[in-house]
Structure 1
Amino acid sequence: MLGRNHSSVSEFILVGFSIFLWHLLPAFFLLFLLMYLFLLLGNLLIMATVWREHSLHTPMYLFLCALSTSEILYTLALTPRLLADMLSACHAITWTACASQIFFSFTFGFTHYFLLVIMGYDHYVAICHPLCYNVLMNPHGRAHLVVWSWAGGSVMGLVVTTVVFHLTFCGPNEIHHFFYHVPPVVKLACGTDVPAVALGVGLVCITTLLGCCLLILLSYTFIVAAILRIPSAEGRHKAFSTCASHLTVVIVHYSFASVVYLKLKGPQSLEGDTLMAITYTILTPFLSPIIFSLRNKELKTATVELNKT
């Protein structure tokens, strides 16, 4: 087991929603439940549409299915427990369950970012090297890219969880957050190595996210340069529209993530930290299927046809 034998804490208690905005809990519960059901149905509809429509059996849409899968699993690791805690008077969770939630949320969260990088690379190859596209994006290569994304997410989840839960937890055990996030959990640890662990985990996560962002920016630098060389306005518009949904999702994800992870250090209220985290944990996954459905003409048309049948 992880560092459990060295800790006196056997369970943690969430106090995120229980000490503020308690009078609005029924409204928040209904809102979050509807958003969760919508993102589940939206992602499942995208996957069903791609599966049924043979014209969408291309690398771009297959990567989109993998992205929808990671998004469903990410929200599954967080949202059901959040909804249950909002209705329950007891917000306790065992040490093992807390570690499991952190592992799965980090695994699926980082897998999501790695898949966004692959989708950017897919657009780069399609626009900048169209003659080599079928060779570079053959079924064997696509499968390897998806597998490596999931493997990378799993490694990140395992590393973060192992490092955090090798710390000693000797009390208190109240987590000032609405889910089992690493920073508030680390604050409960005791020992001289806690600041170093907190800094190390933060640097690893931020470095990985910034690395993914830089790779996507590099891809789009070459994409924009190639599009600007297209002589016809119609050709440029078609090329830009191909990347619009992916680029919009990337901007949304990194905008909300930067608010949560790159905010200036200083006195922060529980209400402020919680509300900022909500935007990233619930609102961002909610927006993704909407963006892909509305900004992608082929997917939108195929979805309409699927609904008619």
Structure 2
Amino acid sequence: MENSTKVTEFVFVAFAFSHRVQLCMFFIFFIIYVLLLSGNVLIMMTIRTDPRLHCPMYFFLCKLSFIDLCYSTVTVPKMLSDFLYDRKTISFHGCITQLYFFHFFACAECFLFTAMGYDRYVAICKPLHYSTIMNTKLCLWMVAATWAIGFVHSNIQTSLTMGLPFCGPNEIDSFFCDIPPLIRLACTDTTMIEAMIVANSGFVSLGCFLAVLISYIGIGSTILKIHTSKGRQKAFSTCVSHLTVVTFFFGPCVFIYMRPSTTFKADRVVTVFYTVIAPMLNPVIYTLRNEEVKTSMKKIWGKSRLCNGNTRKHCANVSSKPQLPANSNLT
């Protein structure tokens, strides 16, 4: 690969606008990124602080917020810095590194969504056995499996891409290094590599989406059997947030990776949506649709303001009120 590759850097051309437009886009995406960081950090701090949220559902939500932070940080800071320059470049090894970690966190998020779907399925379809099935050991194993599968997936994708020769041109029609726009620059026949990459990505994205879909088919059939409208509404409200986030994530992924590496005009918009907008919307969706999270946020941050305005002794008394968490070993 080193003998056949002559390209030492790549140039991003997706957002090649005038300097004034690029400054406007910098401030827009900077605000989005700050909201993304603050929203996900707020969810993680709330779940870690409130013992009543130490259960499998919020355990997975905390891990999702952490992955969203990592997943977006792989691409967004580089994009923001590129808005300040006319020529947007990245070294060959920097490009491969960005590609590796992007697919690592994206694959981990795919399987984490699957784990969250299974958690909701057990909670609604088998409520009497929920605490037995979704125990601490299983939750930890499921999270560990998401990281392990992400590691294997990203290694396969990166190895296939690095095996291609790049001898020019070096302009990537995107704002970060991803496989579809990158393999278009290879100076060799990529038909076989594309098929292998699509098969690998398809197994991850489509497989996880179908697993989540099957879980929600079972959930839907169970909800329809609930006779009381209040019970049906409560069961539905616990799942609609997760289903919305899953749709926002898997829809663009299937559109980008489940087809040959041809270029469409909508690619840039779709890519921005699932790399920047969706991670920002996740904490908003889960917060607005979840009364427990909203209540915990109000109590925790209300208590914090109370402590700032009173004596240390009073704060110690407020924070020492006994609480009995469910599955408190999940933090």
Q: TM-score, normalised by structure 1?
A: 0.93
Once the two structures are TM-superposed, the CA of residue 305 in structure 1 deviates from its matched residue by 1.8
Q: Quote the residue 2:117 is aligned against.
A: 120
Partner of 1:206: 202
One-letter amino acid matched to 1:244 = V
Partner Cα separation in structure 1 for residue 263 and residue 137 of structure 2: 50
Number of residue pairs the alignment of both structures matches: 303
Matches of 2:87 and 2:297 in 1, distance apart? 42
Contact 1:42–1:290, Cα closer than 8 Å, also in 2:
yes
SS where residue 6 of structure 1 aligns?
A: coil
1:45 aligns with 2:42: yes
Structure 1 residues 83 and 292: alpha-carbon distance in aligned structure 2, compared to 1, 3 A threshold = same
1:110 to 107, 127, 141: 107
Once residues 157 and 304 of structure 1 are traced to their aligned partners in structure 2, the CA distance between those partners, rounded to angstroms, is: 39
Residue of 285, 297, 302 corresponding to 1:291: 285
Aligned match for 2:301, one of 273, 286, 307: 307
Q: How does 1:199-278 map to 2 (within 5 A)?
A: 199-261=195-257, 268-269=264-265, 272-278=266-272
Q: 1:16 matched to which residue of 2?
A: 14
Q: Secondary structure at the match of 1:87?
A: coil
Give, in whole Å, the separation in 2 of the partners of 1:274 and 1:244: 28
Deviation for aligned residue 1:259: 4.3
Relative to 1, partners in 2 of residues 1:49 and 1:266: Cα closer, same or farther, differing over 3 Å? closer
In structure 1, give the amino acid aligned to 2:5: S
Give the number of the structure whose alpha-carbon radius of gyration is greater.
2
CA root-mean-square deviation: 1.8
SS at match of 2:74: helix
Between the aligned partners of 1:10 and 1:115, the Cα distance in structure 2 is 36
CA drift of 1:267 comes to 6.3
Q: Is the 8 A contact 2:75 2:176 kept in 1?
A: yes
Tell me if 1:84 matches 2:81: yes
Is the Cα contact below 8 Å between 2:245 and 2:285 reproduced in 1?
yes
State the shift of 1:264 in Å: 9.3
Map of 1:155 onto structure 2: 152
Q: Give the whole-Å Cα distance in 2 for the aligned partners of 1:21 and 1:117.
A: 42
One-letter code aligned to 1:249: V
8 Å contact from structure 2 (residues 72, 279) kept in 1 = yes
For structure 1, the 5+ residue unaligned runs are none
User: % of aligned pairs identical?
Assistant: 38
Q: Is the 8 A contact 1:9 1:95 kept in 2?
A: yes
Q: For residues 22-61 of structure 1, what are the structure 2 equivalents within 5 Å?
A: 23-61=20-58
For 1:93, what is the secondary structure of its paired residue? strand
Distance apart, 1:6 and its partner CA: 3.4
- TM-score scaled by length of structure 2: 0.87
Give unpaired runs (5+ residues) of structure 2.
305-331
